[in-house]
Amino acid sequence: MESEDDMHDANEVASVEEDDNYYSGGEDDHDMDEAGEGEDYGYDYDEEEDDDAADYDFIANSDDGDDALVSRSQKNYTILKEEDIQRRQFEDITKISTVLSIPREAACILLRRYNWSVNNVHEEWFADEENVRRAVGILEKPVVKSPNYKEVSCGICFESYSIGKLRTLACSHLFCDTCWKAYISTSINDGPGCLVLRCPDPSCGAAVGQDMIDKLASHEDKEKYRRYLLRSYVEDSRKIKWCPAPGCDSAVEYVVGSGSYDVTCSCSHSFCWNCAEEAHRPVDCETVAKWVLKNSAESENMNWILANSKPCPKCKRPIEKNQGCMHMTCTPPCKFEFCWLCLGQWSDHGERTGGFYACNRYEAAKQEGVYDESERRREMAKNSLERYTHYYERWASNQSSRQKAMADLHQMQSVHLEKLSEVQCQPESQLKFIIEAWQQIVECRKVLKWTYAYGFYLPEAEHTKKQFFEYLQGEAEAGLERLHQCAEKELMNYLSSEGPSKDFNDFRTKLAGLTSVTRNYFENLVRALENGLSDVDSQAVCNKMSSKTAAGTSKSKSGRGKGSSKTGTAVRNADDSGSWACDKCTYMNARSAAACHVCNHRR
Amino acid sequence: MTSDSASSRKALSKIASNRLQKELVEWQVNPPAGFKHIPTDNLKRWVIEVNGAPGTLYAGEMYQLQVDFPEHYPMEAPQVIFVPPAPLHPHIYSNGHICLDILYDSWSPAMTVSSICISILSMLSSSPAKQRPADNDRYVKNCKNGRSPKETRWWFHDDKV
Ligand SMILES: [Zn+2]
Ligand SMILES: [Zn+2]
Ligand SMILES: [Zn+2]
Ligand SMILES: [Zn+2]
Ligand SMILES: [Zn+2]
Ligand SMILES: [Zn+2]
Ligand SMILES: [Zn+2]
């Protein structure tokens, strides 16, 4: 800081952000951006841009085009455990160290600087080795002459030592071991900035490598350093992110441009790789962020919804929801069967009454009479909260239903399956269909839950779309209810029976059929919603909806359309082929079938 | 104006007092131009007189710096402030806090009180105008109750002063 010009540099130091910026590249280099005594060491950091930026530009566009339709069974991500990350780091360091003929610690410093991209290190190094060396502090020769007298003073404590007692990096700035140790320990305990530690001399950019750390740091500090290094591999990369599940140490590497961001970690946590929220297909990340924000803003108003208890619409006694599906039966003697969501009579739900499942729809309260301005405003405020409440309640119900289903799935795998195998005299391998059913329920509850956020943000003005959406959602809700009920309640009969039931095979056929039908329906639904219901044809929808055929569970066989344009039509044209929906389970049967393929119910 | 933080109340470590004694001896032999150390019996707090450099906006003016050393000096930076009235400068707040990176993030244990003084004088000398930082009032208000500038998250000004 001797001259005016030096001062300029000092004042240009960017920011003093907290830990999360330590890995963001360039900024750390400013730490040692002290202008030196000579031109040679006054580095110009401004020229170091984020060289990788261009590589990642296409992330933002990856939702475009047909990518989004990549089948979910094709994995577009890799789970990395701690040992995988360590192995990769080791291999990359070996590669760089071999190709550039530099020590491992120098290779490590280079890789860290270029976000662990071997290619970028090669590119930069071969383009301008000298500049790269200077920027990261890998020196070839000392920057000061080694003193040739015997007694030298340490540059920090100023005590005199015989020269053999002092230690230096390649730069020949000498410090005693006590000061080196304190310097390194202070830096490691300050945070991940220790990964870009430089020589203590303010004018010197020589990097402190891992070899120095290994020699001088305490065991505990070495371990911290190792963790920071491990973290940097994930946090510097734009293709790898940590699994957000508490206590999970795995990371997920995502193939950019490969469509859906939903990933499932080895710890079984499903999350959106892009925004780290739980997986949220078919809703996009922005909508999820808006919805989450809305929920936290309204959380006080919504607490009652999470209470999980409602008065029975008939006898008014509080009913605790302890099952996953929405079909509630009040305790005896009332035994009233109702829908948890709309509190309507259960028999009004589904195709039997000729109407379709409609409690997913929000009908704004009718406004009657004449309002003065303030009353109207109050009414509007109330309506908007009511509208939100409607969607939030369904979102939350599916959420808790999903959690219940996950617990049930676990219970099934750990306890019930074995018992069922005994009671029904079936090998467990023959009971996989039950696990598959439960896995499907868990998945569908998640999708269904997010469709309520989707619905909330669907513009009111787009009537046709909204109508079509509500129709699809209603069918999804109904289809899933059937599956959930079958897996939850009907299964109980077989579990608690004395011996093998003779209709167990029918049950198998039904549950497996419902599982497959529901899976296909939901896959189509997700694609249709992700496409923004772009091919809604108002005519067809209206025809469809007035025909009152439960076509929701359509296309079990041919549902895997080739592209976006097929999905909407798959639902719409379900009965054009002459196929028919079963009255009992709504399975779409071939025209030729006289009885339902799934439940044997006659046409 | 001084920090109430625990570290500043703790006694100096042995390493810190050894080093400060050496710095003081060196200062007496070879003081930085424009500065005068005012002797006290307190090694932990130095008071230093600053004289504006001739030919600059601060020529003929005199200010006082107060330097407080933490237990683990020089691994940790000292706290350096102007004793009010502080010079009018775009990087110096009216409560005496100084926005200078080497006092905070860019501190290195190989720096000394003397090198800090030289940086501060250089900062004063290069000032194009006698004025307070734009956020002076807000910042000073937030610093009530004797908050140390070392607890501030500084954004170092990037204007050319
Ligand atoms: Zn030393
Ligand atoms: Zn050095
Ligand atoms: Zn995980
Ligand atoms: Zn997301
Ligand atoms: Zn009841
Ligand atoms: Zn209902
Ligand atoms: Zn059927």
Q: What is the mean pLDDT of residues A465-472?
A: 89
Q: Please report residues of A whose CB lies closer than 8 A to that of B153.
A: 16-18
Closest CA to A204 of A38, A68, A325: A38
Q: Please report residues of B whose CB lies closer than 8 A to that of A186.
A: 72, 75-76
Q: What is the mean pLDDT of residues A178-186?
A: 96
Name the percent of chain B lying above pLDDT 90.
65
Q: Please, which residues have CB within 8 angstroms of residue A167's CB and are 6 or more apart in sequence? A: A174, A175, A176, A177, A180, A216
* In the predicted structure, residue A570 carries a pLDDT above the cut 90: no
Q: What is the mean pLDDT of residues B137-150?
A: 82
* In the predicted structure, residue A56 carries a pLDDT above the cut 50: no
Contact yes or no for A460/A387 (Cβ under 8 A): no
Model pLDDT, residue A589: 72
For residues B147 and A579, what is the distance between their CA atoms, to the nearest angstrom? 78
* In the predicted structure, residue A520 carries a pLDDT above the cut 80: yes
Spacing, Cα A18 to ligand 2 middle (Å): 26
Model pLDDT, residue A559: 36
* In the predicted structure, residue A231 carries a pLDDT above the cut 90: yes
Q: According to the per-residue pLDDT averaged within each range, which of A119-123, A256-260, B157-161 is highest? A: A119-123
* In the predicted structure, residue A363 carries a pLDDT above the cut 50: yes
From the number of C-beta atoms within 10 Å of its C-beta (0-12, 13-18, 19+), residue A79 rates as middle
Q: Evaluate whether residue B75 is within a structural domain.
A: yes
Confidence of residue A549 (pLDDT cuts 50, 70, 90): very low
* In the predicted structure, residue A174 carries a pLDDT above the cut 90: yes
Q: What is the mean pLDDT of residues A90-97?
A: 97
Identity of the amino acid at A59: I
For residues B160 and A138, what is the distance between their CA atoms, to the nearest angstrom? 30
Q: Which of A110-119, A164-173, A292-301, A304-313 has the lowest average pLDDT?
A: A304-313
Q: Which of A28-42, A276-290, A578-592 has the lowest average pLDDT?
A: A28-42
Nearest to B115 among A1, A17, A179 (CB): A1
For residues A130 and B83, what is the distance between their CA atoms, to the nearest angstrom? 46
Confidence of residue A57 (pLDDT cuts 50, 70, 90): very low
From the number of C-beta atoms within 10 Å of its C-beta (0-12, 13-18, 19+), residue B93 rates as buried
Q: What's the token pair of residue A441?
A: 């329920």
User: Which domain covers residue B112, as residue numbers?
Assistant: 6-127
β-strand A240-242 against A251-254: which pairing, if any? Answer: antiparallel
> How many domains does chain B fold into?
1
How does DSSP assign B41-84, residue by residue?
A: S-TTEEEEEEEPPTTSTTTT-EEEEEEE--TTTTTSPPEEEEES
Contact yes or no for A184/A151 (Cβ under 8 A): no
Asked if the Cβ–Cβ distance from A157 to B15 is below 8 Å, we say yes
> In this structure, what DSSP letter does residue A53 have?
H
Model pLDDT, residue A411: 93
Q: Which of A118-127, A153-162, A177-186, A254-263 has the lowest average pLDDT?
A: A254-263
Model pLDDT, residue A382: 66
Model pLDDT, residue A181: 96
For residues A341 and A326, what is the distance between their CA atoms, to the nearest angstrom? 7
* In the predicted structure, residue B28 carries a pLDDT above the cut 90: yes
Contact yes or no for B55/B70 (Cβ under 8 A): no
Closest CA to A572 of A536, A519, A526: A536
Q: Which of A40-49, A415-424, B59-68, B87-96 has the lowest average pLDDT?
A: A40-49
Give CA torsion, residues A72, A78, A82, A88, to 10 deg: 180
Report yes or no: A37 at the B interface, CB cutoff 8 Å. no
Spacing, Cα A322 to ligand 5 middle (Å): 15
Give alpha helix (H) positions in A143-218.
177-190, 210-216
Q: What is the mean pLDDT of residues A177-185?
A: 96
A107 CA to centre of own chain = 33
* In the predicted structure, residue A226 carries a pLDDT above the cut 90: yes
Asked if the Cβ–Cβ distance from A14 to B75 is below 8 Å, we say no
Q: Please, which residues have CB within 8 angstroms of residue A557's CB and are 6 or more apart in sequence? A: none
Q: Catalytic one among B80, B86, B99, B121? A: B99
Closest CA to A114 of A294, A236, A276, A256: A236
Q: According to the per-residue pLDDT averaged within each range, which of A314-318, A446-450, A552-556 is highest? A: A446-450
Report yes or no: A15 at the B interface, CB cutoff 8 Å. yes
For residues A396 and A469, what is the distance between their CA atoms, to the nearest angstrom? 19
Confidence of residue A601 (pLDDT cuts 50, 70, 90): confident
For residues A407 and A445, what is the distance between their CA atoms, to the nearest angstrom? 13
For residues A262 and A256, what is the distance between their CA atoms, to the nearest angstrom? 12
**Chain A closest-CA separation from residue B126 CA (Å):** 6
* In the predicted structure, residue A449 carries a pLDDT above the cut 80: yes
Angle at A235 between CA A231 and CA A241, to 5 degrees: 105
Identity of the amino acid at B108: S
Report yes or no: B30 at the A interface, CB cutoff 8 Å. no
> In this structure, what DSSP letter does residue A595 have?
B
Spacing, Cα A552 to ligand 4 middle (Å): 27
> Higher confidence at residue A540 or residue A106?
A106
Q: What is the mean pLDDT of residues A252-278?
A: 89
Tally Cβ neighbours within 10 Å of residue A331: 12
Residues of A (125-184) whose Cβ lies below 8 Å from B: 155-159, 173, 175, 178-179, 182-183
Q: Please report residues of A whose CB lies closer than 8 A to that of B159.
A: 11
Find the ligand nearest to A589 CA. 7
Q: What is the mean pLDDT of residues B147-159?
A: 69
Q: What burial letters (b/e) apply to A80-118, b meaning 16+ CB within 10 Å?
A: beeeebeeebeebbeebbeebebebbbbbbbbbbbbbbb
* In the predicted structure, residue A512 carries a pLDDT above the cut 70: yes
Q: Which of A211-215, A355-359, B55-59 has the lowest average pLDDT?
A: A355-359
Q: Evaluate whether residue B115 is within a structural domain.
A: yes
For residues A494 and A434, what is the distance between their CA atoms, to the nearest angstrom? 12
Q: Residues within 5 Å of ion ligand 1 by Cβ?
A: A 154, 156-157, 176, 179
Q: Please report residues of B whose CB lies closer than 8 A to that of A31.
A: 105-106
Q: What is the mean pLDDT of residues A38-43?
A: 40
**Chain A closest-CA separation from residue B84 CA (Å):** 23
* In the predicted structure, residue A54 carries a pLDDT above the cut 50: no
Mean pLDDT, rounded, of chain A: 77
Q: Evaluate whether residue B101 is within a structural domain.
A: yes
* In the predicted structure, residue A22 carries a pLDDT above the cut 70: no
Q: Please, which residues have CB within 8 angstroms of residue A162's CB and are 6 or more apart in sequence? A: A150, A151, A152
Contact yes or no for A319/A312 (Cβ under 8 A): yes
Q: What distances in angstroms separate CA A154 from CA A172, A184, A473, B29, one per listed residue?
A: 12, 15, 74, 19
Tally Cβ neighbours within 10 Å of residue A150: 10
Contact yes or no for B3/B146 (Cβ under 8 A): yes
Nearest to B158 among A12, A173, A202 (CB): A12
Q: Which of A50-59, A193-202, A210-219 has the lowest average pLDDT?
A: A50-59
Q: What is the mean pLDDT of residues A113-122?
A: 94
* In the predicted structure, residue A423 carries a pLDDT above the cut 80: yes
For residues A305 and A315, what is the distance between their CA atoms, to the nearest angstrom? 20
Give alpha helix (H) positions in chain B.
6-9, 14-29, 113-125, 136-142
Q: What is the pLDDT of residues B85-134, one digit of tens each?
A: 999 999 999 999 998 889 988 899 999 999 999 999 999 999 888 999 88
**Chain A closest-CA separation from residue B22 CA (Å):** 7
Asked if the Cβ–Cβ distance from A156 to B115 is below 8 Å, we say no
Q: Evaluate whether residue B157 is within a structural domain.
A: no
Q: Evaluate whether residue B158 is within a structural domain.
A: no
Helix (H, G, I), strand (E, B) or coil at A251: strand
Reported for A125-129, long-range contacts at CB under 8 A and 24+ positions apart, including other chains, are: A125/A100
Asked if the Cβ–Cβ distance from A11 to B109 is below 8 Å, we say no
A23 CA to centre of own chain = 21
Q: Which of A276-285, A343-352, B138-147 has the lowest average pLDDT?
A: A343-352
Confidence of residue A377 (pLDDT cuts 50, 70, 90): low
> Higher confidence at residue A241 or residue A68?
A241
* In the predicted structure, residue A224 carries a pLDDT above the cut 90: yes
Give residue for tokens 């030919």: B55
User: How many C-alpha atoms does A479 have within 13 Å on its Cβ side?
Assistant: 35
Q: What is the mean pLDDT of residues A42-54?
A: 40
Model pLDDT, residue A584: 62
Q: What's the token pair of residue A326?
A: 């929405």
Q: What's the token pair of residue A410?
A: 């676990």
Helix (H, G, I), strand (E, B) or coil at A490: helix
Give CA torsion, residues A77, A82, A87, A88, to 10 deg: 40
Contact yes or no for A161/A153 (Cβ under 8 A): yes
Distinct helix (H) and strand (E) counts, chain A: 19, 15
Asked if the Cβ–Cβ distance from A2 to B118 is below 8 Å, we say yes
A2 CA to centre of own chain = 51
**Chain A closest-CA separation from residue B106 CA (Å):** 5
Spacing, Cα B53 to ligand 3 middle (Å): 62
φ/ψ bin of A580: left (φ > 0), alpha (ψ from -120 to 50), beta (otherwise): beta
Closest CA to B62 of B82, B45, B91, B43: B82
Q: Evaluate whether residue B142 is within a structural domain.
A: no
In the residue annotation, B117 being an active-site residue is answered as no
Model pLDDT, residue A330: 81
For residues A572 and A12, what is the distance between their CA atoms, to the nearest angstrom? 62
Tell me which of B25, B156, B157, B160 to substitute to probe the interface with A (most A C-beta atoms closer than 10 Å): B156
* In the predicted structure, residue A557 carries a pLDDT above the cut 90: no
Q: Which of A42-51, A70-79, A384-393, A448-457 has the lowest average pLDDT?
A: A42-51
For residues A189 and A244, what is the distance between their CA atoms, to the nearest angstrom? 24
* In the predicted structure, residue A265 carries a pLDDT above the cut 70: yes
We report the CATH number of the domain holding residue B32 as 3.10.110.10
Is the previous residue joined to A333 through a cis bond, with omega within 30 degrees of 0? Answer: yes
Q: What distances in angstroms separate CA A594 from CA A111, A547, A603, one per listed residue?
A: 67, 21, 6
Nearest to A7 among B106, B122, B158 (CB): B122
Nearest 5°: phi and psi at A175?
Answer: -140, 150
Asked if the Cβ–Cβ distance from A34 to B102 is below 8 Å, we say yes
Contact yes or no for A227/A195 (Cβ under 8 A): no
Name the percent of chain A lying above pLDDT 70.
71
Asked if the Cβ–Cβ distance from B154 to A16 is below 8 Å, we say yes
Q: Please, which residues have CB within 8 angstroms of residue A558's CB and are 6 or more apart in sequence? A: A570
